[in-house]
Structure formats: C-alpha cells, structure tokens
C-alpha cells in the first residue's frame, strides 16, 4: 500500500486529522513538524506547509526525500475563477498551473533554450485524480446520508474536475482575476500551493493529488468571505475529505 504525504497550508485545513493518526511520531525538519503514523492501517506523514509556492515545494521535497512517501495529497481552499463555481464547491485538479510565471517575452527567442517545464503546467495522473475524486464523491454521499451532524444540512457542494491555478498572491479583485483568466482561461480556481507541489512531484516522478474547496470568489469581497469560510466551515469539510483518502 501507498505511503501518503498529506499537506495543508493552514492548520484549519488539516491539523484536526492529527487525532486520527495511530502510532504518531512527530519529527521536526527545519521550520516544520511532520506527523508520521497510520490511519486505518495506511501509512501517512502529515505536514502544515504554510502559505505559498516556496513553502509548499520545501514541504513536498522533505516528504519525498526524508519520508519516502509514494504519493502527495494536498487539501485546502481556493478562490473561484468561474461563474458556475460556487463557494463550498469542490475542485479535483486534473492539471496544476503556476499562473504567475511569465516567460512569454523569451518564447522562441533564438539561442535561448525553452524552459524545462514549458508553461509551468503539471498534469495530474489519472490514478491520482481518481483517488481524490472517490474521496470527494464519498464525502458528498455521506452528506446526503446526514452522516455529519456538525456540517450544515443545506451544504450540497458540486464536484468539478479541472485546472487549478497557483500563484504567490491572494487574489482579491476583479482586475486581478481578469489578468489571470486572460492568460489561463482554462483555470477553475486560484490558490497558492498546488502547482508548486505538482512541480516537485514531477521532478521525482511521484503522483500528486490536489483537492480544493471554494472559499471565496477572488473578488473585492474575497478577504472577508475567505475568513468566514476559514473559521466556520473549512476544518469540518477538509478533515472529512482527508479521512476518506485512507479508507
Ligand atoms: N485561497 C483561497 N482563496 C484564495 C484567493 N482568493 N487567492 C489565492 N488563494 C486563495
């Protein structure tokens, strides 16, 4: 069976899962703690990365090189970039794109080698998409069956499979949103870690799944919508989805 490296950017996103880990050992590498053990008999190493691409890449590298994980899983929040993607909806990434990388002025310019990762775009393997999708689907079945007393009964998220955009910015304006969508119209949502983990996973040929719950519309109200979702909803939702990755 696979040893999973589970990453979240903020404590609200994954830290409650610590209570599910059996034979827990906590290791410190650099600035971060790594929670190693098993959930339902499956090996896991959980880590809070912190925000942004560098934090995420550093965490992923340690999970691979020190803990020898066989797959990386990221769960967290994202801002919607599409009209039909509502707050609370869930996106399973089929590709991860670093939307803030722009090398276009060098494109085709003679004598300059094309970048190793053209477009800084990282496809998610079919099997890794499937594993994430199955957990998310089971979560919505459980919602329908009223299995979560502390989650609002009205909560009926739609599941989407699509491109997730990553950049070192909290997007909080229509203008900022438009700029991203203009260059990457395929993006469903925007966040700050996924495609960095995707790049490290590609470096080491390790599968990587990203699951994002929409917390805001990346518009002028994004900061307050995000904060409300963070403090009221995310920890209940993301922990239940994370658990279902280990059944
Ligand atoms: N994560 C959640 N909402 C976000 C936003 N609007 N921009 C970047 N990352 C986010």
Among protein residues, the one with the nearest Cα to ligand 1's atom 1 is 78
* pLDDT tens, the chain, 247 aa long: 899 999 999 888 888 899 999 999 999 999 999 999 999 999 999 999 999 999 999 999 999 999 999 999 999 999 999 999 999 999 999 999 999 998 888 877 777 776 666 679 999 999 999 999 999 999 999 999 999 999 999 999 999 999 999 999 999 999 999 999 999 999 999 999 999 999 999 999 999 999 999 999 999 999 999 898 888 888 899 999 999 999 9
Which ipTM did the prediction report?
Answer: 0.99
In the reported structure, the alpha carbon of residue 42 is separated from the centroid of ligand 1 by a whole-number distance in angstroms of: 31
Clarify whether 216 is annotated catalytic. yes
- For the chain, which residues make up each domain, given as ranges? 4-244
User: Which atom of ligand 1 sits closest to the CA of residue 217?
Assistant: 6
- pTM attached to this predicted model: 0.96
Indicate if ligand 1 lies below 6 Å from the C-beta of 5.
no
User: Which atom of ligand 1 sits closest to the CA of residue 172?
Assistant: 6
Instruction: Identify which of 75, 170, 233 to mutate to test ligand 1's pocket (most ligand atoms within 8 A of the CB).
Output: 170
Distance CA 79, CA 109 (A): 35
Report, at the CATH architecture level, how domain 4-244 is classified: 3-Layer(aba) Sandwich (3.40)
Distance CA 57, CA 239 (A): 22
- Rounding to the nearest 10 degrees, give the CA dihedral for residues 82, 88, 94, 99: 50
């Amino acid at each position: 069976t696979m040893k999973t490296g589970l990453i979240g950017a903020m404590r609200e996103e994954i830290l409650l899962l610590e209570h599910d880990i059996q034979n827990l050992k906590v290791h410190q590498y650099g600035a971060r703690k790594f929670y190693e053990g098993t959930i339902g008999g499956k090996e896991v190493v959980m880590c809070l990365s912190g925000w942004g691409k560098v934090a995420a890449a550093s965490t992923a590298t340690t999970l691979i090189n020190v803990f020898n994980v066989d797959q990386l899983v990221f769960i967290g929040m994202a801002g919607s970039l599409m009209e039909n993607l509502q707050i609370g909806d869930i996106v399973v990434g089929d590709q991860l794109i670093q939307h803030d990388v722009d090398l276009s002025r060098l494109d085709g310019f003679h004598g300059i080698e094309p970048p190793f990762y053209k477009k800084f775009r990282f496809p998610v393997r079919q099997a890794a998409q499937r594993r994430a999708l199955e957990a998310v689907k089971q979560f919505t079945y459980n919602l329908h069956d009223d299995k979560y007393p502390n989650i609002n009964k009205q909560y009926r998220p739609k599941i989407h499979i699509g491109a997730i955009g990553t950049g070192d910015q909290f997007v909080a304006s229509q203008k900022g949103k438009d700029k991203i969508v203009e260059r990457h119209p395929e993006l469903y949502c925007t966040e700050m870690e996924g495609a960095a983990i995707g790049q490290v996973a590609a470096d080491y040929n390790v599968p990587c799944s990203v699951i994002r719950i929409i917390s805001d519309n990346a518009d002028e109200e994004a900061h307050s919508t995000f904060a409300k979702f963070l403090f009221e909803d995310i920890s209940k939702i993301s922990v239940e989805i994370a658990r279902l990755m280990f059944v």
